[in-house]
Amino acid sequence: MNTQIRHKPSTITIRPALWADKSRLLAMIGDLSRHHGEAATLDLPALVHLLKADMPWLKLLVAEQDGQLVGYAGVTGGMRLQFGERVMDLHHLFVDEAHRGRGIGRALINASHDLARTLGCGRITVGTMTTNIAAQKAYVACGFVPVPMTGKRFSMAVA
């Protein structure tokens, strides 16, 4: 799956991540984490572990321009068990600040949607921080429909 969007004077290619992308991907994941006020702890062995999981636990797509990675999407497999429906969650979407506003995010979303369809998913989901109004507007513009939260989410460490 390779998708291309043309912008003068170069072309953006959306493709599955390759081993050669690992260092730049880890850097962009760190950039997105810092943007959200978090410190990324993901390292190369942990990334490889996630990518080698038995189910489509993590799929990475990258946006490349002139041989340089300028963005990525990380989608994770999930489901809505009560409906017997597979879903993919657009867990991460990142475009370098210097490359925003050129349709790269939309191209990554479209490629993620196509991947979800190929994997037999009935829908793709995405979440944002409640304060990230710009991302919420962008997702709606790309065809996502807001879903009201009906409760709280909880987490527990597994050690």
Taking the domains of the chain in order of start, what are their residue ranges? 3-141
What is the fold, at CATH topology level, of the domain defined by 3-141? Aminopeptidase (3.40.630)
CA distance 39 to 148: 28
pLDDT tens string 78-109: 877 677 788 999 999 999 999 999 999 999 99
Residue 13 has pLDDT above 70, yes or no: yes
What mean pLDDT comes out for the span 123-132?
92
Position 54 scores a pLDDT of: 61
Residue 5 has pLDDT above 60, yes or no: no
Q: Are 69 and 25 in contact (CB under 8 A)?
A: yes
Whole-structure pTM value: 0.72
Higher pLDDT residue, 135 or 54? Answer: 135
